Amino acid sequence: MPREKTQIGQILLAHGVINTAQLEQVLAVQKDSGGRLGDIIIAEGFASYLSLYTALAEHYALLFVDLLVQPPETNVLYAPDAENYILYLAIPWRYDVDGKITVAVAELSKETKVWVSKNYGENVKLAITSPLDIRRVVEREFGVVLEEKSRLQLWHEKPAVSARVTVPRRARKYLYMASGFLFALGIFFPIQSMIYFVAFCALTYFLSMVAKTMIFVSGMQKEKQVDWQKNIAEMNEAGLPIYTILVPMYREAQSIPKMIAAMQKMDYPSEKMDIKLILETDDVETYEVAVAMKPSHNFEIIRVPVSALRTKPKACNYALRFARGEYVTVFDADDRPEPLQLKKAIFAFRNSPKDVACLQARLNYYNAGYNWLTRSFSLEYSLLFNYLLHGLQRLGIPLPLGGTSNHLSLAHLRELGEWDPFNVTEDADLGVRLAALGLKTEMLDSYTMEESTYTMQAWIRQRSRWIKGYMQTWLVHMRRPLVLYKTLGLRGFVGFQFFVGLASFSFLTAPLVWLLAFVFWLFPVKLMFPEWLLVLSAFNLLINFSTHWFMLFFCVRDNEKPDKKLVLAAVSYPFYLLLHSVASYKALHQLIVKPHFWEKTAHGLAPDGENS
């Protein structure tokens, strides 16, 4: 639409779309935020898309086309241009009897006119339609095509970093050879093989704790304090870019009201918030609840066509086809982000080196006080997001991102090939791929509160998916270890091995280390293992307990309301870590039999409140 605020305002005023008071209010909002008048009118709820664009069509003496009533002729649509229809807000409609093609546009900008002229020549007529109509037509006509692209683009463009094939054929051959060799050793030298295997497990267990401690100590260094109150107050809202917020949901009807309320609390110009509620086409209940809520016009419901692959990253990739923002972030249905998070992200991007392509906010749980499991989970997140990720950042080690509240420029995300739809921890994978391109991820001084799973079954389902994704990420990026070493550097490469690779291995072998330690302490007999190995296992367990207690002391101290139950969760935290072993064996099984299966975590079930 034309950008002249008075011209658009007078057009809509003359056609009775808005009144004088509403126009004055909209102009005042535009003065502060710098948004486009039509977008503000829609965001404020003063007019519908239909009335707004009908009035503009009448003013410019152009035909208004309701594409939902009079859809384009299928012979004029071209599947490879589907994303351009969204980008330029222009779509061919039909041929006239005189042979001229009519293109329906929701933009009369120079870029749109150039694209129309380039693709259809001068023998073209323009008609007006709404951006909502164009999006819905593209979804209806090209949804399957866009879903396939969202699913396979990374595999087609960069197969070396895609988890579509967990272990390539050539690597599988070497894996079989190595497994056969180890099996033969176990058959012919059973006792010696067992001793060396347990020694290797104990050594890696010890080294992983040493690495974790070093990362933690590095993360203890205080960040330079930013005067956010001053910086936000001085921020010119007119210069803020459009921000795309992706909210993938599946069977999340109960979370819709609180999620919409959380988005409405964001301190960011509403007309510059491009919020995508991403639903599956067969999730009728969530769709009906979302429609019944009648969210404001900066919310768009994107419905992803169903396919054999049903993962969060694929859904987010699909929604990116309709994204309008310069920056993009992902929130889960149960998230409650700090209202200032988007503004903080923009400030951080603008005041960081150009190679900073991603920001990760801190995460924790609003129902942390529900039971022992949720308290332990909250302590784990405090340790990870308040210390370990900061340590990784300082040491130059790739950050495995959280599944929510990571902020990226849309240009960088597309340069990376978007998320890997076949990786069930697409966030951790993306952090490694960012680092491999020489781009940096930094922690953002903001928070998002989530809902913690509070039953053992739900926790294991969720954690097994995360561990499986870490296994996928390690296998994918270790296909070419020399390339990874060259792109990450020595420190980044070693850190990746410890934080991503050895983490999963340690969870798998922890029960064996624990068992031998207890055998040494409770039954000081030699059995089949030499005494030095039993001592090493016992020493490992002591180091594990004491190191985690040391780190968790700081997490408890940071808590605003530490209580006896939280202290008890910290004391018993090593046993919470042992639960990871249960989840890791489930993850390993799924990695073999169904690597791309997404274990769904149900949201909106836990009571609110820290002490609920």
DSSP track, 87-137: HHTEEEEEE-TTSPEEEEES--SHHHHHHHHHHH-SSEEEEE--HHHHHHH
Q: Is the pLDDT of residue 156 over 80?
A: yes
- What is the pLDDT averaged over residues 210-228? 90
Q: What angle do CA 245, 470, 198 make, to 5 degrees?
A: 160
Same domain assignment for residues 126 and 20? no
Same domain assignment for residues 67 and 53? no
Same domain assignment for residues 366 and 441? yes
In a domain, 148, yes or no: no
What local confidence, expressed as pLDDT, does residue 146 receive?
Answer: 96
Q: What is the CA radius of gyration of the chain?
A: 27
Same domain assignment for residues 439 and 586? yes
Q: Is the pLDDT of residue 180 over 50?
A: yes
Same domain assignment for residues 387 and 454? yes
> Helix/strand/coil (H, E, C) string of 580-611?
HHHHHHHHHHHHHHCCCCCCCCCCCCCCCCCC
Question: Do the Cβ atoms of 359 and 441 come closer than 8 Å?
Answer: yes
In a domain, 401, yes or no: yes
Cα dihedral sign, 577-579-585-588: negative
List, as one string, the DSSP characters of 387-453. IIHHHHHHHTPPP---SSSEEEEHHHHHHTTS--TT-TTHHHHHHHHHHHTT-EEEEEEEEEEEPPP
Same domain assignment for residues 127 and 220? no
Q: Can you tell me the distance from the alpha carbon of 115 to that of 113, in angstroms, rounded to the nearest whole number? A: 5
Examine the fold and report which residue of 61, 92, 112 is the final residue of a domain before the chain moves on.
61
Same domain assignment for residues 341 and 368? yes
In a domain, 156, yes or no: no
In a domain, 147, yes or no: no
Same domain assignment for residues 251 and 304? yes
Query: pLDDT category, 610, cuts 50, 70, 90?
Result: very low
Q: Can you tell me the distance from the alpha carbon of 99 to that of 66, in angstroms, rounded to the nearest whole number? A: 21
In a domain, 152, yes or no: no
Examine the fold and report which residue of 138, 153, 171 is the final residue of a domain before the chain moves on.
138
In a domain, 153, yes or no: no
Q: Is the pLDDT of residue 7 over 80?
A: no
Look at residues 274, 300, 285 and name the one whose alpha carbon lies nearest to residue 252. 285
- The one-letter amino acid code at 72 reads P
Residue 116: give its domain's CATH number: 3.30.300
Same domain assignment for residues 255 and 113? no
In a domain, 535, yes or no: yes
- 535: buried, middle or exposed (CB in 10 Å: 19+, 13-18, 0-12)? middle
pLDDT tens track for 263-311: 999 999 998 999 999 999 999 999 999 999 988 888 999 999 999 999 9
Number of domains in the chain: 3
The SS3 of residue 46 is coil
Percent of the chain exceeding pLDDT 70 equals: 96
In a domain, 186, yes or no: yes
Same domain assignment for residues 248 and 203? yes
Examine the fold and report which residue of 11, 27, 61 is the final residue of a domain before the chain moves on.
61
**Residue 132 CB coordination number (10 Å):** 18
Q: Which of 2-6, 65-69, 86-90 has the lowest mean pLDDT?
A: 2-6
Same domain assignment for residues 378 and 429? yes
What local confidence, expressed as pLDDT, does residue 534 receive?
Answer: 83
Q: Which of 82-86, 197-201, 574-578 has the lowest mean pLDDT?
A: 197-201
Residue 299: give its domain's CATH number: 3.90.550.10
Domain range for residue 16?
1-61
- The one-letter amino acid code at 58 reads E
Look at residues 8, 5, 13, 53 and name the one whose alpha carbon lies nearest to residue 29. 5
Same domain assignment for residues 606 and 565? yes
